[in-house]
């Protein structure tokens, strides 16, 4: 068994134009002051990291590490969630997702996708330069508009969609393999990889690529009414990252899983600050320790009610309280009796 690393915090929801959230030094000082030991870094804001430069310059990568280490922190992983989304975009979402790319690539889906693929390859190389073992991203989605089978999906549509998704991701996975880094898909609504079945379909298409791994986030499974504990039992060998995020699902006579087009505050299913939702984190942390998860426990804060700074402050202590320092001995060792092979045979009547 392994003791999880943590607590760490994903910075994406906290970066802003106001101090201390507008510079790497400032946000590191803030996170360390709350008791975090690691930071997970998004990669689209050059104030925090220039992804291409980190990929091409080990010296620059070491400088970034130095700033973070000076605050008493480590980089846990880099994130390309937004870039990964653009690897595969159904035309229905072209305009909505254009804002994830630099202006030069907007209104040009082919150029936007090429940019996104290069970003992922830079992320593999930057992770290698930074000495990281895993990386977080989204799969993107070609099929999401057809997630509910009405109108009836044409025969072969899903097969073709996953074939194309795998075609786009295989060269990226190969680059991550070359760099010795696991590529972890956050299984998430809005992505073609949104549950265990879709992950398995993708895994088959990429021939069970050793780097096609998982970022585990139970909050998304609460909203899908999926068994998030059994998910760990099934996929623990592929889980290389862990977002500690809470959620609740409170259906009523007016709405359920689909949420009635309501805002996050009014939906039956919504994300909450740690400890304010329904996720059984004691069971999750126990399973992660049992299955030798060696990575970080990373707070991803999303809540429609609580102030984010309060959520971050409470989250550090919440994670710290849930990390299990695993035992190095059996609880009943006190009753152990010395035995040998011959004695065991005697007990068995052999």
Convert 45-59 to b/e letters by CB count within 10 Å (16 or more is b). Answer: eeebbbbbbbbeeee
The per-residue pLDDT for range 17-31, each reduced to its tens digit, is 999 999 999 999 999
Question: In the prediction, which pLDDT does 347 show?
Answer: 86
At residue 336 the predicted structure's pLDDT band, cuts being 50, 70 and 90, is confident
Using DSSP's 3-state secondary structure scheme, residue 307 falls into: coil
Using DSSP's 3-state secondary structure scheme, residue 150 falls into: coil
Alpha helices in 4-108 (DSSP H): 24-33, 51-56, 58-70, 81-85, 94-97
Nearest to 224 by CA among 251, 262, 252: 251
Question: In the prediction, which pLDDT does 78 show?
Answer: 98
Do residues 220 and 269 make contact, with C-beta atoms less than 8 angstroms apart?
no
At residue 205 the predicted structure's pLDDT band, cuts being 50, 70 and 90, is very high
CATH of the domain at 13: 3.20.20.150
What percentage of the chain has pLDDT greater than the value 70? 99
Is a pLDDT exceeding 70 seen at residue 335? no
The per-residue pLDDT for range 56-103, each reduced to its tens digit, is 999 999 999 999 999 999 999 999 999 999 999 999 999 999 999 999
By mean pLDDT, which of 32-41, 136-145, 336-345 is the weakest?
336-345
Quote the pTM value. 0.95
Cis peptide before 7 (omega within 30 of 0): yes
At residue 334 the predicted structure's pLDDT band, cuts being 50, 70 and 90, is low
Measured CA to CA in angstroms, residue 96 lies from 85, 90, 91, 259 at distances of 11, 11, 10, 20
Q: Please state the φ and ψ torsions of residue 40, each to the nearest 5 degrees.
A: -100, 130
Question: In the prediction, which pLDDT does 131 show?
Answer: 98
* Number of folded domains that form the chain: 1
Is a pLDDT exceeding 90 seen at residue 232? yes
Chain mean position to CA 81: 9
Question: In the prediction, which pLDDT does 137 show?
Answer: 98
**80 DSSP β-pair partners:** 137
Distance (Å, whole) CA 83 – CA 103: 14
Mean pLDDT of the chain: 96
Residue 286 structural domain = 5-347
Question: Which DSSP category does 154 fall into?
Answer: P
Tokens read off for 227:
């068994």
Q: Which residue has the higher pLDDT, 337 or 222?
A: 222
Strands (E), the chain: 5-10, 38-42, 74-80, 134-137, 182-186, 212-216, 239-244, 246-249, 269-272, 296-299
Question: In the prediction, which pLDDT does 54 show?
Answer: 98
At residue 346 the predicted structure's pLDDT band, cuts being 50, 70 and 90, is confident
């Amino acid at each position: 068994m392994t003791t999880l690393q943590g607590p760490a915090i994903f910075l994406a929801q906290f970066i802003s134009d106001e101090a201390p959230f507008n510079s790497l030094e400032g946000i590191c000082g803030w996170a360390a002051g709350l008791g975090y030991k690691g930071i997970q870094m998004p990669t689209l804001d050059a104030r925090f990291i220039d992804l291409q430069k980190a990929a091409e310059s080990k010296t620059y990568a070491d400088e970034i590490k130095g700033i973070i280490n000076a605050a008493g922190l480590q980089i846990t992983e880099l994130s390309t969630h937004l870039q990964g989304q653009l690897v595969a975009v159904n035309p229905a979402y072209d305009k909505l997702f254009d804002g994830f790319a630099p202006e030069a690539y907007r209104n040009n889906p082919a150029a936007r996708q090429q940019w996104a693929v290069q970003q992922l390859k830079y992320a593999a190389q930057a992770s290698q330069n930074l000495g990281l073992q895993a990386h977080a991203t989204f799969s993107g989605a070609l099929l999401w508009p057809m997630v509910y089978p009405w109108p009836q999906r044409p025969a072969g549509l899903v097969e073709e969609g996953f074939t194309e998704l795998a075609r786009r991701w295989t060269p990226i996975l190969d680059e991550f393999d070359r760099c010795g880094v696991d590529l972890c898909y956050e299984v998430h609504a809005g992505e073609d990889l949104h549950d265990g079945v879709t992950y398995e379909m993708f895994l088959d298409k990429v021939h069970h690529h050793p780097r096609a791994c998982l970022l585990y986030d139970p909050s998304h499974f609460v909203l899908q009414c999926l068994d998030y504990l059994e998910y760990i039992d099934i996929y623990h060998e592929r889980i290389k990252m862990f977002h500690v995020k809470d959620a609740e699902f409170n259906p009523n006579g007016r709405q359920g899983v689909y949420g009635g087009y309501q805002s996050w505050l009014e939906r039956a299913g919504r994300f909450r600050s740690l400890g304010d939702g329904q996720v059984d984190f004691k069971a999750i942390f126990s399973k992660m320790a049992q299955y030798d998860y060696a990575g970080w426990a990373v707070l991803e804060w999303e809540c429609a009610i609580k102030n984010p700074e309060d959520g971050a402050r409470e989250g550090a202590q919440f994670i710290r309280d849930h990390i299990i320092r695993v035992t190095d001995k059996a609880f009943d060792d006190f009753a152990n009796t010395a035995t040998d092979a011959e004695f065991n045979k005697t007990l068995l009547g052999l």
